Amino acid sequence: MISPVLPSYSRANLSFVKGEGSWLIEADGRRFLDFASGIAVMSLGHGHPKVVGALIDQANALWHTSNLYEVPQQQALADRLVEHTFADTIFFCNSGTEAAELAIKMARKYRTVTGAPDRMTILTFEGGFHGRSTGAISAAASEKLSAGFGPLLPGFRLLPFGDHDALRDAASAPDVGAIMVEPIQGEGGIRPLPDQCLKGLRDLCDEHGLLLILDEIQCGMGRTGKLFAHEWAGITPDIMLVAKGIGGGFPLGALLATEEVARGMTAGTHGSTYGGNPLGCAVGGAVIDVITADGFLDAVNAKAGFLRQKLEGLVASHPDIFEGVRGHGLMLGIKCKIPPGEVVAAGYAQAVLTVPAADNILRILPALTITEDEISEGISRLDAAASALENRASAE
Ligand SMILES: *Cc1c(COP(=O)(O)O)cnc(C)c1O
Protein backbone atom coordinates (compact mmCIF):
# COMPACT_ATOMS: atom_id res chain seq x y z
CA MET A 1 0.00 0.00 0.00
CA ILE A 2 1.36 3.42 -0.93
CA SER A 3 1.09 5.81 2.00
CA PRO A 4 1.56 9.57 1.98
CA VAL A 5 3.25 9.31 5.39
CA LEU A 6 7.00 10.00 5.24
CA PRO A 7 8.59 6.54 5.31
CA SER A 8 11.13 7.40 8.02
CA TYR A 9 9.84 4.52 10.17
CA SER A 10 9.75 0.86 9.24
CA ARG A 11 6.48 -0.16 10.83
CA ALA A 12 5.17 -3.53 11.92
CA ASN A 13 1.92 -4.57 10.33
CA LEU A 14 0.02 -4.02 13.58
CA SER A 15 -2.52 -1.40 14.50
CA PHE A 16 -4.48 -1.00 17.69
CA VAL A 17 -7.88 0.44 18.38
CA LYS A 18 -7.96 0.31 22.18
CA GLY A 19 -5.70 0.16 25.20
CA GLU A 20 -6.54 -1.22 28.64
CA GLY A 21 -3.78 -1.07 31.25
CA SER A 22 -0.99 -3.32 29.97
CA TRP A 23 -2.99 -4.53 26.97
CA LEU A 24 -3.37 -3.24 23.43
CA ILE A 25 -6.25 -4.52 21.35
CA GLU A 26 -6.55 -4.83 17.57
CA ALA A 27 -9.76 -4.23 15.65
CA ASP A 28 -10.42 -8.00 15.49
CA GLY A 29 -10.18 -8.23 19.29
CA ARG A 30 -6.71 -9.78 19.46
CA ARG A 31 -5.04 -8.68 22.72
CA PHE A 32 -1.32 -7.91 22.94
CA LEU A 33 0.56 -7.82 26.23
CA ASP A 34 2.43 -4.52 26.19
CA PHE A 35 6.05 -4.76 27.33
CA ALA A 36 6.88 -1.66 25.24
CA SER A 37 4.62 1.07 26.68
CA GLY A 38 5.02 3.16 23.54
CA ILE A 39 8.76 3.20 24.33
CA ALA A 40 8.51 4.01 28.04
CA VAL A 41 5.79 6.61 27.50
CA MET A 42 2.68 4.93 28.93
CA SER A 43 4.04 4.98 32.47
CA LEU A 44 0.66 4.24 34.02
CA GLY A 45 -0.57 1.97 31.25
CA HIS A 46 -3.36 2.64 28.79
CA GLY A 47 -6.47 4.43 29.97
CA HIS A 48 -5.49 5.00 33.60
CA PRO A 49 -8.66 6.48 35.14
CA LYS A 50 -6.88 9.33 36.98
CA VAL A 51 -4.97 10.37 33.86
CA VAL A 52 -7.98 10.11 31.56
CA GLY A 53 -10.07 11.97 34.13
CA ALA A 54 -7.56 14.82 34.37
CA LEU A 55 -7.49 15.13 30.58
CA ILE A 56 -11.26 15.09 30.19
CA ASP A 57 -11.85 17.59 33.00
CA GLN A 58 -9.26 19.95 31.58
CA ALA A 59 -10.53 19.46 28.01
CA ASN A 60 -13.99 20.47 29.15
CA ALA A 61 -12.66 23.54 30.94
CA LEU A 62 -9.89 25.04 28.77
CA TRP A 63 -7.38 23.76 26.21
CA HIS A 64 -4.97 26.53 25.46
CA THR A 65 -4.36 30.12 26.36
CA SER A 66 -0.73 31.16 25.98
CA ASN A 67 2.43 31.65 27.95
CA LEU A 68 1.51 35.33 27.67
CA TYR A 69 -0.76 34.59 30.65
CA GLU A 70 -0.49 32.68 33.90
CA VAL A 71 -1.18 28.96 33.47
CA PRO A 72 -2.17 27.58 36.90
CA GLN A 73 -1.82 23.92 35.84
CA GLN A 74 1.77 24.67 34.80
CA GLN A 75 2.50 26.34 38.15
CA ALA A 76 1.02 23.39 40.00
CA LEU A 77 3.06 20.83 38.07
CA ALA A 78 6.23 22.88 38.52
CA ASP A 79 5.56 23.02 42.28
CA ARG A 80 5.16 19.24 42.39
CA LEU A 81 8.41 18.66 40.48
CA VAL A 82 10.36 21.13 42.61
CA GLU A 83 9.03 19.45 45.74
CA HIS A 84 10.35 16.06 44.59
CA THR A 85 13.68 16.99 42.95
CA PHE A 86 16.86 19.06 43.12
CA ALA A 87 15.34 21.69 40.83
CA ASP A 88 14.44 25.31 41.56
CA THR A 89 13.04 26.12 38.14
CA ILE A 90 11.31 24.32 35.30
CA PHE A 91 10.54 24.95 31.65
CA PHE A 92 7.80 22.89 30.06
CA CYS A 93 7.90 21.78 26.44
CA ASN A 94 6.28 19.08 24.33
CA SER A 95 8.95 16.45 23.80
CA GLY A 96 12.30 15.14 24.92
CA THR A 97 14.10 16.67 21.99
CA GLU A 98 12.87 20.13 22.92
CA ALA A 99 14.12 19.64 26.47
CA ALA A 100 17.53 18.57 25.12
CA GLU A 101 17.66 21.64 22.87
CA LEU A 102 16.98 23.92 25.81
CA ALA A 103 19.64 22.15 27.88
CA ILE A 104 22.21 22.96 25.21
CA LYS A 105 21.06 26.57 25.03
CA MET A 106 20.96 26.95 28.81
CA ALA A 107 24.44 25.50 29.30
CA ARG A 108 25.81 27.91 26.69
CA LYS A 109 23.92 30.91 28.06
CA TYR A 110 25.20 30.15 31.56
CA ARG A 111 28.79 30.39 30.30
CA THR A 112 27.97 33.61 28.50
CA VAL A 113 26.44 35.35 31.50
CA THR A 114 29.14 34.13 33.88
CA GLY A 115 31.90 35.48 31.66
CA ALA A 116 33.29 32.19 30.36
CA PRO A 117 32.24 32.19 26.70
CA ASP A 118 35.18 29.96 25.80
CA ARG A 119 33.69 27.03 27.77
CA MET A 120 30.92 26.03 25.37
CA THR A 121 31.93 22.40 24.69
CA ILE A 122 29.63 19.70 26.04
CA LEU A 123 30.97 16.18 26.57
CA THR A 124 28.66 13.38 25.43
CA PHE A 125 28.97 9.60 25.17
CA GLU A 126 28.93 7.00 22.43
CA GLY A 127 25.61 5.18 22.32
CA GLY A 128 23.84 8.21 23.77
CA PHE A 129 20.55 9.48 22.43
CA HIS A 130 19.01 12.89 23.05
CA GLY A 131 16.52 13.24 20.20
CA ARG A 132 16.43 14.00 16.50
CA SER A 133 16.87 17.76 16.18
CA THR A 134 20.08 19.07 14.69
CA GLY A 135 21.37 19.89 18.18
CA ALA A 136 20.43 16.50 19.58
CA ILE A 137 21.98 14.48 16.73
CA SER A 138 25.09 16.64 16.98
CA ALA A 139 25.27 15.81 20.69
CA ALA A 140 24.93 12.06 20.15
CA ALA A 141 26.85 12.23 16.87
CA SER A 142 26.48 8.61 15.82
CA GLU A 143 26.70 7.81 12.13
CA LYS A 144 23.24 6.24 12.30
CA LEU A 145 21.59 9.43 13.56
CA SER A 146 23.58 12.04 11.72
CA ALA A 147 24.63 10.66 8.31
CA GLY A 148 23.73 13.13 5.58
CA PHE A 149 22.51 15.83 7.97
CA GLY A 150 25.74 17.77 8.28
CA PRO A 151 27.08 20.29 8.91
CA LEU A 152 26.32 19.38 12.50
CA LEU A 153 26.15 21.85 15.37
CA PRO A 154 29.63 22.40 16.78
CA GLY A 155 30.40 22.31 20.48
CA PHE A 156 30.24 18.61 21.39
CA ARG A 157 32.98 16.11 22.13
CA LEU A 158 31.94 12.47 21.97
CA LEU A 159 33.64 10.09 24.41
CA PRO A 160 33.75 6.30 24.40
CA PHE A 161 31.34 4.74 26.91
CA GLY A 162 33.08 3.56 30.07
CA ASP A 163 36.55 4.95 29.29
CA HIS A 164 37.44 6.71 32.54
CA ASP A 165 40.84 7.95 31.38
CA ALA A 166 39.40 9.57 28.26
CA LEU A 167 36.73 11.19 30.42
CA ARG A 168 39.24 12.55 32.96
CA ASP A 169 41.37 14.03 30.19
CA ALA A 170 38.41 15.56 28.40
CA ALA A 171 36.86 17.02 31.57
CA SER A 172 39.96 19.06 32.34
CA ALA A 173 40.13 20.69 28.88
CA PRO A 174 39.67 24.47 29.15
CA ASP A 175 36.89 24.67 26.52
CA VAL A 176 34.62 22.16 28.28
CA GLY A 177 31.61 23.47 30.21
CA ALA A 178 29.23 20.55 30.68
CA ILE A 179 28.70 16.80 30.52
CA MET A 180 25.44 15.44 29.11
CA VAL A 181 24.58 11.80 29.78
CA GLU A 182 21.73 9.35 30.30
CA PRO A 183 21.96 7.53 33.66
CA ILE A 184 20.80 4.48 31.68
CA GLN A 185 21.23 4.58 27.92
CA GLY A 186 17.93 3.61 26.33
CA GLU A 187 18.32 3.58 22.55
CA GLY A 188 21.98 2.67 23.08
CA GLY A 189 20.91 -0.68 24.54
CA ILE A 190 19.92 -0.37 28.23
CA ARG A 191 23.45 0.46 29.34
CA PRO A 192 23.34 1.70 32.94
CA LEU A 193 25.98 3.97 34.37
CA PRO A 194 26.87 2.23 37.64
CA ASP A 195 26.06 4.39 40.70
CA GLN A 196 29.77 4.68 41.36
CA CYS A 197 30.32 6.19 37.89
CA LEU A 198 27.47 8.64 38.30
CA LYS A 199 29.03 9.74 41.60
CA GLY A 200 32.38 9.97 39.86
CA LEU A 201 30.84 12.14 37.14
CA ARG A 202 29.37 14.47 39.75
CA ASP A 203 32.77 14.74 41.49
CA LEU A 204 34.51 15.42 38.18
CA CYS A 205 31.98 18.14 37.38
CA ASP A 206 32.52 19.73 40.80
CA GLU A 207 36.28 19.51 40.44
CA HIS A 208 36.31 21.27 37.07
CA GLY A 209 33.25 23.51 37.44
CA LEU A 210 31.26 21.62 34.80
CA LEU A 211 27.48 21.36 34.59
CA LEU A 212 26.07 17.86 34.89
CA ILE A 213 23.14 17.48 32.48
CA LEU A 214 21.22 14.24 33.00
CA ASP A 215 18.89 13.00 30.29
CA GLU A 216 16.22 11.10 32.23
CA ILE A 217 13.73 11.17 29.39
CA GLN A 218 13.55 7.37 29.23
CA CYS A 219 14.84 6.28 32.66
CA GLY A 220 13.02 8.87 34.78
CA MET A 221 9.49 9.13 36.20
CA GLY A 222 9.61 6.02 38.34
CA ARG A 223 10.92 3.61 35.72
CA THR A 224 13.90 2.47 37.81
CA GLY A 225 11.92 2.35 41.05
CA LYS A 226 12.89 5.84 42.21
CA LEU A 227 11.22 8.93 40.79
CA PHE A 228 14.48 9.70 38.95
CA ALA A 229 17.29 7.24 38.23
CA HIS A 230 20.10 9.45 39.58
CA GLU A 231 18.57 9.24 43.07
CA TRP A 232 20.01 5.70 43.37
CA ALA A 233 23.50 7.21 43.25
CA GLY A 234 22.66 9.87 45.83
CA ILE A 235 23.74 12.73 43.58
CA THR A 236 21.95 15.61 41.88
CA PRO A 237 22.45 17.10 38.42
CA ASP A 238 22.47 20.79 37.49
CA ILE A 239 20.05 20.26 34.63
CA MET A 240 17.71 17.33 33.99
CA LEU A 241 15.63 16.45 30.94
CA VAL A 242 12.28 14.76 31.41
CA ALA A 243 9.66 13.66 28.86
CA LYS A 244 8.12 10.31 27.82
CA GLY A 245 6.68 8.92 31.10
CA ILE A 246 5.75 12.29 32.59
CA GLY A 247 2.90 12.75 30.13
CA GLY A 248 1.63 9.17 30.32
CA GLY A 249 0.95 9.41 26.58
CA PHE A 250 0.24 13.14 26.29
CA PRO A 251 3.10 15.05 24.60
CA LEU A 252 4.88 16.72 27.53
CA GLY A 253 8.51 17.43 28.26
CA ALA A 254 10.34 19.44 30.88
CA LEU A 255 13.72 20.84 31.67
CA LEU A 256 14.53 21.06 35.37
CA ALA A 257 17.42 23.17 36.60
CA THR A 258 18.95 24.93 39.53
CA GLU A 259 18.33 28.65 39.79
CA GLU A 260 22.07 29.32 39.43
CA VAL A 261 22.42 27.50 36.11
CA ALA A 262 19.17 28.95 34.74
CA ARG A 263 20.14 32.52 35.58
CA GLY A 264 20.78 33.55 31.98
CA MET A 265 17.32 32.47 30.84
CA THR A 266 15.57 35.78 31.40
CA ALA A 267 12.35 37.01 29.78
CA GLY A 268 12.46 36.64 26.03
CA THR A 269 15.39 34.21 25.86
CA HIS A 270 13.32 31.05 25.20
CA GLY A 271 9.75 30.07 24.50
CA SER A 272 7.23 27.56 23.21
CA THR A 273 3.70 28.06 21.93
CA TYR A 274 2.35 24.82 23.35
CA GLY A 275 4.89 24.20 26.11
CA GLY A 276 3.20 24.01 29.50
CA ASN A 277 -0.32 24.11 28.08
CA PRO A 278 -3.21 23.37 30.46
CA LEU A 279 -4.00 19.94 28.96
CA GLY A 280 -0.45 18.60 29.15
CA CYS A 281 0.17 19.98 32.62
CA ALA A 282 -3.13 18.69 34.00
CA VAL A 283 -2.21 15.22 32.71
CA GLY A 284 1.37 15.50 34.00
CA GLY A 285 0.02 16.50 37.40
CA ALA A 286 -2.15 13.38 37.53
CA VAL A 287 0.77 11.17 36.49
CA ILE A 288 3.11 12.55 39.12
CA ASP A 289 0.43 12.33 41.82
CA VAL A 290 0.01 8.62 41.13
CA ILE A 291 3.75 7.88 40.94
CA THR A 292 4.57 9.78 44.15
CA ALA A 293 1.64 8.35 46.13
CA ASP A 294 2.61 6.29 49.17
CA GLY A 295 3.71 2.79 48.27
CA PHE A 296 3.60 3.20 44.48
CA LEU A 297 7.37 3.07 43.91
CA ASP A 298 7.73 0.27 46.48
CA ALA A 299 5.35 -1.73 44.32
CA VAL A 300 7.39 -0.88 41.22
CA ASN A 301 10.52 -2.20 42.93
CA ALA A 302 8.77 -5.41 43.95
CA LYS A 303 7.50 -5.97 40.40
CA ALA A 304 10.91 -5.16 39.01
CA GLY A 305 12.48 -7.90 41.14
CA PHE A 306 9.82 -10.36 39.97
CA LEU A 307 10.29 -9.39 36.29
CA ARG A 308 14.05 -9.65 36.52
CA GLN A 309 13.87 -13.13 38.03
CA LYS A 310 11.46 -14.24 35.30
CA LEU A 311 13.72 -12.80 32.60
CA GLU A 312 16.76 -14.59 34.04
CA GLY A 313 14.75 -17.81 33.81
CA LEU A 314 13.75 -17.04 30.22
CA VAL A 315 17.37 -16.41 29.25
CA ALA A 316 18.49 -19.65 30.93
CA SER A 317 15.87 -21.66 28.97
CA HIS A 318 16.95 -20.29 25.60
CA PRO A 319 20.74 -20.12 25.58
CA ASP A 320 20.88 -20.08 21.76
CA ILE A 321 18.73 -16.95 21.59
CA PHE A 322 19.53 -14.97 24.73
CA GLU A 323 22.67 -14.31 26.74
CA GLY A 324 21.83 -12.09 29.69
CA VAL A 325 19.68 -9.46 31.38
CA ARG A 326 20.72 -5.92 32.24
CA GLY A 327 19.16 -2.67 33.35
CA HIS A 328 17.38 -1.41 36.42
CA GLY A 329 13.82 -1.51 37.72
CA LEU A 330 11.30 -1.79 34.89
CA MET A 331 13.89 -0.63 32.33
CA LEU A 332 15.40 -3.96 31.39
CA GLY A 333 17.17 -5.34 28.36
CA ILE A 334 17.91 -8.87 27.22
CA LYS A 335 21.12 -9.28 25.29
CA CYS A 336 20.34 -11.42 22.23
CA LYS A 337 22.52 -13.77 20.18
CA ILE A 338 20.39 -13.10 17.11
CA PRO A 339 19.24 -9.70 15.78
CA PRO A 340 16.77 -8.40 18.39
CA GLY A 341 14.36 -7.35 15.64
CA GLU A 342 13.80 -11.06 14.95
CA VAL A 343 12.83 -11.62 18.57
CA VAL A 344 10.51 -8.61 18.50
CA ALA A 345 8.83 -10.01 15.36
CA ALA A 346 8.51 -13.48 16.89
CA GLY A 347 6.93 -11.74 19.90
CA TYR A 348 4.34 -10.12 17.64
CA ALA A 349 3.32 -13.58 16.48
CA GLN A 350 2.71 -14.47 20.16
CA ALA A 351 0.94 -11.14 20.83
CA VAL A 352 3.57 -9.59 23.08
CA LEU A 353 5.19 -6.21 22.36
CA THR A 354 8.86 -5.44 23.04
CA VAL A 355 11.33 -2.90 21.59
CA PRO A 356 14.72 -3.52 19.98
CA ALA A 357 17.71 -1.33 20.85
CA ALA A 358 21.34 -1.03 19.83
CA ASP A 359 23.98 -3.51 21.02
CA ASN A 360 21.66 -6.48 20.25
CA ILE A 361 19.26 -5.63 23.03
CA LEU A 362 15.60 -6.49 23.41
CA ARG A 363 14.02 -3.82 25.61
CA ILE A 364 11.39 -4.72 28.19
CA LEU A 365 9.62 -1.52 29.30
CA PRO A 366 6.27 -2.41 30.87
CA ALA A 367 3.87 0.08 32.41
CA LEU A 368 4.70 0.80 36.05
CA THR A 369 1.19 -0.43 36.81
CA ILE A 370 1.66 -3.91 35.32
CA THR A 371 0.61 -6.81 37.59
CA GLU A 372 2.67 -9.89 38.42
CA ASP A 373 0.15 -12.04 36.55
CA GLU A 374 0.62 -9.88 33.46
CA ILE A 375 4.40 -10.12 33.82
CA SER A 376 4.11 -13.91 33.94
CA GLU A 377 1.83 -13.89 30.91
CA GLY A 378 4.24 -11.70 28.94
CA ILE A 379 7.16 -13.95 29.85
CA SER A 380 5.34 -17.08 28.73
CA ARG A 381 4.58 -15.39 25.42
CA LEU A 382 8.25 -14.46 25.01
CA ASP A 383 9.13 -18.03 25.90
CA ALA A 384 6.85 -19.24 23.09
CA ALA A 385 8.43 -16.69 20.73
CA ALA A 386 11.93 -17.93 21.57
CA SER A 387 10.85 -21.56 21.10
CA ALA A 388 9.42 -20.68 17.68
CA LEU A 389 12.77 -19.12 16.74
CA GLU A 390 14.63 -22.27 17.91
CA ASN A 391 12.30 -24.51 15.90
CA ARG A 392 12.85 -22.33 12.87
CA ALA A 393 16.61 -22.65 13.34
CA SER A 394 16.48 -26.46 13.72
CA ALA A 395 14.24 -26.78 10.62
CA GLU A 396 16.83 -24.98 8.48
C1 LIG B 1 13.11 9.42 23.53
C2 LIG B 1 14.32 10.09 24.04
C3 LIG B 1 14.65 11.40 23.64
C4 LIG B 1 13.85 12.16 22.63
O5 LIG B 1 12.54 12.40 23.08
P6 LIG B 1 11.40 12.80 22.02
O7 LIG B 1 10.20 13.02 22.88
O8 LIG B 1 11.27 11.67 21.06
O9 LIG B 1 11.83 14.04 21.35
C10 LIG B 1 15.78 11.97 24.20
N11 LIG B 1 16.55 11.31 25.09
C12 LIG B 1 16.25 10.06 25.49
C13 LIG B 1 17.12 9.39 26.51
C14 LIG B 1 15.15 9.40 24.97
O15 LIG B 1 14.87 8.14 25.34
- In this predicted structure, what is the pLDDT of residue 395? 80
Which of 109, 226, 244, 303 is labelled catalytic? 244
Q: Are residues 285 and 314 in the same domain?
A: no
Average pLDDT, the chain: 97
* Distance, CA of 271 to CA of 285 (rounded, Å): 21
Q: Are residues 302 and 383 in the same domain?
A: yes
pLDDT at 229 over 80: yes
Last residue of some domain: 291, 308, 342? 291
* Distance, CA of 106 to CA of 164 (rounded, Å): 26
Q: Are residues 87 and 201 in the same domain?
A: yes
Task: Kindly list the protein residues whose Cβ atom lies closer than 6 A to any atom of ligand 1.
Answer: 95-97, 100, 129-131, 182, 186, 215, 217-218, 243-244
Full residue range of the structural domain in which residue 357 is found: 16-34+294-395
pLDDT digit string (tens) for 106-146? 999 999 999 999 999 999 999 999 999 999 999 998 999 99
pLDDT digit string (tens) for 58-100? 999 999 999 999 999 999 999 999 999 999 999 999 999 999 9
Single out the residue of 353, 347, 293, 343 nearest to residue 320, CA to CA.
343
- Check if 244 is active-site: yes
The share of the chain scoring above pLDDT 90, in percent, equals 98
- Ligand 1: atom nearest CA of 96 is 5
Question: How many A from CA of 241 to the centre of ligand 1?
Answer: 9
Q: Are residues 261 and 325 in the same domain?
A: no
According to DSSP, the residues that pair with 24 across neighbouring strands are 19, 32
pLDDT-derived band at 2 (thresholds 50, 70, 90) equals confident
Give the residue, out of 37, 39, 97, 272, with the most ligand 1 atoms within 8 A of its beta carbon, to mutate for a pocket test: 97
Q: Is residue 118 part of a domain?
A: yes
Q: Are residues 312 and 281 in the same domain?
A: no
Question: How many A from CA of 392 to the centre of ligand 1?
Answer: 35
Helical H runs in the chain? 37-40, 49-61, 72-84, 96-113, 134-140, 143-146, 164-171, 195-208, 278-291, 296-317, 340-349, 372-395
Q: Is residue 331 part of a domain?
A: yes
As a whole number of Å, the end-to-end CA separation of the chain is: 31
- Check if 129 is active-site: yes
- Which helix (DSSP H) or strand (DSSP E) does residue 149 occupy? none
* Distance, CA of 118 to CA of 260 (rounded, Å): 19
- Ligand 1: atom nearest CA of 187 is 15
pLDDT at 318 over 80: yes
The share of the chain scoring above pLDDT 70, in percent, equals 99
pLDDT-derived band at 247 (thresholds 50, 70, 90) equals very high
pLDDT digit string (tens) for 337-350? 999 999 999 999 99
Q: Is 66 exposed, middle or buried (0-12, 13-18, 19+ CB in 10 A)?
A: exposed
Last residue of some domain: 227, 258, 291? 291
Question: How many A from CA of 358 to the centre of ligand 1?
Answer: 15
- In this predicted structure, what is the pLDDT of residue 162? 93
Average pLDDT of 294-310?
Answer: 98
- Structural domain tally of the chain? 2
pLDDT digit string (tens) for 171-223? 999 999 999 999 999 999 999 999 999 999 999 999 999 999 999 999 999 99
- In this predicted structure, what is the pLDDT of residue 386? 98
Domain harbouring 283, CATH code: 3.40.640.10
According to DSSP, the residues that pair with 33 across neighbouring strands are 23, 352
pLDDT at 1 over 80: no
